[in-house]
Amino acid sequence: HFRILADFVEVFNKQATVLVEKLAKELDNEAGFDCVRYITLCSLDIICETAMGCPVYAQRQSDSEYVRAHEKIGEIMLNRLQKLWLHPDIIFRCTRQYREQQKCLDILHRFSYRMITERRSIIQTGSVVKQANTEDGLDANNNNCEGT
């Protein structure tokens, strides 16, 4: 149902505004610029805030550990996809990239675990006013997150 997306319009608009601000700074760049990173960071902000209910500020803090880990995982996956000899796990696990991937995954998993723990704590203490969509049972309006 598209009705559930209506709950997230505020997040979409807020993050799109940040994206437009970032892109506006590049308008005078006559050599051009790569918009992929900007769009990726905006997407990361939108996905994290809508799915986890907590902003990550990827567009404003693009050098954060979480953003760097996310980008590195993408690079490693693309590199592995392009090099056929890295496809077999038995070979890939012997590489430096595998160790880097594991470090990045640890960062991403710790972040997700922390967000889940915080959300669970907020819900259990009853400090959240539930504004759930009764049909879908989802709460998209809660932005009470700590430590992000």
Residue pLDDT tens, the chain, 148 long: 678 888 899 999 999 999 999 999 998 888 989 899 999 999 999 999 998 888 899 999 999 999 999 999 999 999 999 999 999 999 999 999 999 999 999 999 999 899 889 888 888 887 654 444 333 333 333 444 544 4
Question: What pLDDT was estimated at residue 131?
Answer: 43
Model pLDDT, residue 55: 87
Dig out the tokens for 133 from the structure: 């969509």
Q: Which of 34, 59, 35, 36 is nearest to 47 (CA)?
A: 59
Q: Measured between alpha carbons, how far is 22 from 122 in angstroms, rounded to an integer?
A: 33
Q: What is the pLDDT of residue 128?
A: 55
Please give the pLDDT value at position 132: 42
Residue 108: name the closest of 67, 74, 78 by CA.
67
Helices 9-24 and 36-51, interaxial angle, to 10°? 160
Q: What totals of helices (H) and strands (E) does the chain contain, helices first? A: 6, 0
Q: What DSSP string describes 18-46?
A: HHHHHHHTTTT-TT----HHHHHHHHHHH
Where do the structural domains in the chain lie, given as residue ranges?
A: 1-62, 63-128
Q: Which amino acid is at 76?
A: I
Q: What is the pLDDT, as a whole number, of residue 41?
A: 96
> Which residue from 142, 143, 141, 138 is spatially nearest to 1, judged by alpha carbons?
138
